[in-house]
Structure 1
Amino acid sequence: MEEEPVMTPEAAPDAGLRAFDQHRRLLFGVAYQMLGSVADAEDVVQDAWLRWSAADRSDVADPRAYLVRVATRLALDRLGSARTRRETYVGPWLPEPLLTDDARGPEEAAELGEQVSLAVLVVLETLSPTERAVFVLREVFGMSWAEVAGVLDRSEAAVRQLGHRAREHVQARRPRFDTDRRAQREVTERFLAACVGGDVDALLAVLSPGVVLLTDGGGQAKAALRPIVGADKAARFLVAVSSQGLSQPGLTVRLVDVNGAPGVVVDGPAGPAIAVSLVVADGRVEQALVVLNPDKLAGLVG
């Protein structure tokens, strides 16, 4: 018996495609927040499309609720195996950075905002999968408790308890940050200039005394295997790495929005090679998150 062809967006009925496209950005956002991976989030959206295109949509009263439920469950299924892989990861694990500047549209950048900062996603990694789902749906996307309960097939009382616990956990661990984007950008520019210029003193002036530097090479790029704590150690490491890395021919440096905040992307001949995301508070860098793993840089193509 001949297999039926898999329905693609191009071949699907216009109404079904329009309904899916209307919620595509939301589905990507939910999956990315759940998984911290651009590639995995895109896979979840594709799988959600396949389920949507094969579903009897005459029985779907609320396409948004249906699709969010599908995407959340697909993300939960992936999260377990992803966490198993991270147990053997070489060095600190950081989420995949995502370009959120005007190249992806100001509306999308505004929607993503501070909630997708790499620092917040790192904190979300410390939640249980279900707590993370509740936090993302409720705190990030503003769904009602009834909607969250429907997505997860739990009672409202249960998801409220999970949500309260997750919110307290995140608030206790998320770093302080400046809300003034102009101040964030100014500090980022000073940070970049000091790194490029190899100026340790200038870096010390922009780093908080207790700054934490995390570098994610995933065993594929040279990186520190443990967090570097303290301005002096972080400054000397950054200058040493910059003098070696930024001196290579064919590199260009972009100051762009990475995960809803000013950041730095270094491009090589083959594409993005380094991404830097900073947490700025009181005019100084509290955290510097540097992603060098080439497998995690696809979301930074301009």
Structure 2
Amino acid sequence: MDFETIYRTYKHLLFSVGYRMLGSVSDAEDMVQDLFTSLKTLDTDNISNLKSYLVKMMTNRCLNYLKSASKQREIYVGAWLPEPLITTNDHDSMGQVVQDETISYAFLVLLQELSSVERAVFVLREVLGYEYGEVAEMLNKTEINCRKIYSRAKVKVNQGKERNLGELGETEPLVKKFLHAVHTGNFKDFVSLLTDDAVLISDGDGKRRTALKTIFGKQRILALFEGIAAKGSLQGNWLPMLNNSQIGLVLVKDQIADIVICFDMDENRLQANQVFKMMNPDKLQHISSVLGCHKSSDLFVL
């Protein structure tokens, strides 16, 4: 198989591994490119199972990266959230990978709470469907050890209220109510679609002024949005978008993504129990570049 065919065949699979492991679009893309650069020097014809070999390479690169980046995470200012991934209305293959493998933004947040090894085992076993023996070979561990790691990760995920990706439009009422609230200044109807114990998590890494701690309860969330709206911080062009295969919102100012908001629904899928607010400019660069490369009709819904 020639190099270009290998690249087209496996780049999206490898990105999906990297994105889940790292929680970063840009880092996952860089990792994929670096992997294929190194692959040019290898004789792939002598590799018996190229797919597993590439996934192993990607997984181990991610583990090494996370180990080196652990200190940066420790000094991160406020909550750390994954980088949102915009998908398009057309048949964007990168977006299709994410949707087909059923991962919501909230589930991605949950994955980041696992240790790097737990995350690797969970992604390889639960998401990609590899057998324990294959996972053990990829991570240079015993099969028994991998079973124990997976079991431990599964318990943590279940405690975090594991759920499958819901229907695409289940967050649409929240988006519409939020857009109405931004225009009127009245957020009560929007907050009525949150559970009483809903939480709001913001990520600004100290580069933007935002809540450093989680906001608990819909009344406090109401007070927060009313306060920042009164200061004019929500002014701009709010647009509904496909974020990790769910409808969310992006605030665009001068063609640059300024804020991204997305939601996680409760088990009844009638109200949201989590609101995620991304304001870290470093994690919005990818979205800004996507905004400039696509027609608005390809990106925005409703």
Question: Is the shorter-chain TM-score for this pair beyond 0.5, marking a shared fold?
Answer: yes
- Structure 2 residue ranges without an equivalent (≥5): 292-302
Q: What are the equivalent positions in structure 2 for 1:35-114 lying under 5 Å apart?
A: 35-103=22-90, 105=91, 108-113=94-99
Deviations 1:194-219 (A, max 9, x none): 24422132133122111100111111
Structure 2 residue aligned with 1:218? 205
Structure 1 residue aligned with 2:275? 288
Worse-superposed segment, 186-195 or 33-42: 186-195
Structure 1 residue aligned with 2:262? 277
Structure 2 residue aligned with 1:262? 247
TM-score by length of 1: 0.87
TM-score by length of 2: 0.87
The alpha-carbon distance between structure 1 residues 150 and 229, as it changes in their structure 2 partners (threshold 3 A), is same
The alpha-carbon distance between structure 1 residues 70 and 201, as it changes in their structure 2 partners (threshold 3 A), is same
**Amino acid aligned to 2:204:** G
How far apart, in 2, do the equivalents of 1:31 and 1:215 lie? 23
Deviations 1:42-101 (A, max 9, x none): 111011112211112232112211111111111001111222211111111111111023
The alpha-carbon distance between structure 1 residues 175 and 157, as it changes in their structure 2 partners (threshold 3 A), is closer
Contact 1:178-1:184 within 8 A present in 2 as well: no
Contact 1:30-1:136 within 8 A present in 2 as well: yes
Does residue 297 in structure 1 map to residue 284 in structure 2? yes
**Amino acid aligned to 1:258:** N
Find the residue that maps to 2:257 and give its secondary structure: strand
Worse-superposed segment, 198-207 or 285-294: 198-207
Contact 1:175-1:279 within 8 A present in 2 as well: no
Does residue 141 in structure 1 map to residue 128 in structure 2? yes
**Amino acid aligned to 2:98:** L
Deviations 1:231-250 (A, max 9, x none): 11101212322342233xxx
How far apart, in 2, do the equivalents of 1:42 and 1:136 lie? 18
Does residue 246 in structure 1 map to residue 234 in structure 2? yes
**Amino acid aligned to 1:33:** R
Aligned with 2:181 (options 187, 194, 201) = 194
Structure 1 residue aligned with 2:295? none
Deviations 1:151-176 (A, max 9, x none): 11222222122112111111111366
How far apart, in 2, do the equivalents of 1:149 and 1:52 lie? 23
How far apart, in 2, do the equivalents of 1:167 and 1:175 lie? 9
Shift of 1:132: 0.5
Q: Give RMSD over aligned pairs.
A: 2.0
Contact 1:210-1:231 within 8 A present in 2 as well: yes
How far apart, in 2, do the equivalents of 1:141 and 1:216 lie? 29
Find the residue that maps to 1:183 and give its secondary structure: coil
How far apart, in 2, do the equivalents of 1:162 and 1:22 lie? 30
Contact 1:102-1:109 within 8 A present in 2 as well: no
How far apart, in 1, do the equivalents of 2:185 and 2:59 lie? 45
Shift of 1:116: 3.4
Q: Give me the identity figure in percent.
A: 33
Aligned length: 285
Aligned with 1:182 (options 156, 169, 191) = 169
**Amino acid aligned to 2:146:** V
Find the residue that maps to 1:262 and give its secondary structure: strand
The alpha-carbon distance between structure 1 residues 245 and 225, as it changes in their structure 2 partners (threshold 3 A), is same
How far apart, in 2, do the equivalents of 1:242 and 1:144 lie? 50
The alpha-carbon distance between structure 1 residues 34 and 271, as it changes in their structure 2 partners (threshold 3 A), is same
Does residue 205 in structure 1 map to residue 205 in structure 2? no
